[in-house]
Structures are given as structure tokens and as C-alpha cells.
Amino acid sequence: MNLTDNIAQHIIDVHAGINWTDVNIKNTVQNITYSEASTHTDASANSIAALLHHITFYNEVVLKRINGNDPAINAANGFDVNLPAKSLLTP
């Protein structure tokens, strides 16, 4: 398996399969509500939604680099998430 295939499989496993953490993102967040995902606590300045946005941001950076681009990474470092209004997320 080449490097690109290894990276792709790693990302798939982290999101939906078996990986070194024994959990995956899909199963971990499937029953979390919008309210829970957007909550900030004293334990962390980041919400679940912000962390998921950060993971997506870096997956996009990796994809661009695989395709030969060198994307600029701003000071927010992928944590510049603006959560949509709850009404936009519900049908």
C-alpha cells in the first residue's frame, strides 16, 4: 500500500472504523445533540462542534497537500468555526 492509500485508510478508520484509539468519530458523536455539540465547559474552551470543524479543516489541508498544493493556515488554525443557528440544522 502506498503512502496516499495509507493516509486515506487512516482517515477512514478514524472516522468510521477500527483505529488505534478503539473508538471512531461516527459512533462517538452519532447521538450527540446540537446543543451538546455546541456547548463550552470549564474543562475546555473548545466545543465538540469546534473540534470536529478542526479535524475537517486539517483533513482538507492534507488533501490539498496530497494534490500538490501548499495551503495557507491562518492564525485560527482551523478553530475559526461559526456555528449555524439551530434552526438551520433541523428540517
Question: Is this prediction's pTM over 0.95?
Answer: no
Confidence (pLDDT) at 86: 53
Q: For the segment 43-58, what is each residue's pLDDT rounded down to a tens digit?
A: 887 888 888 888 888 8
Residues in the chain predicted with pLDDT less than 50, given as ranges, are 87-91
Nearest residue to 47 (alpha-carbon basis) of 60, 59, 29: 29
Phi, psi of 51 (to 5 degrees): -65, -40
Q: What is the pLDDT of residue 39?
A: 86
3-state secondary structure 6-66: HHHHHHHHHHHCCCCCCCCHHHHHCCCCHHHHCCCECCECCCHHHHHHHHHHHHHHHHHHH
Query: What's the chain's length in residues?
Result: 91
What is residue 43's predicted lDDT score, i.e. its pLDDT? 86
**pLDDT score at 84:** 59
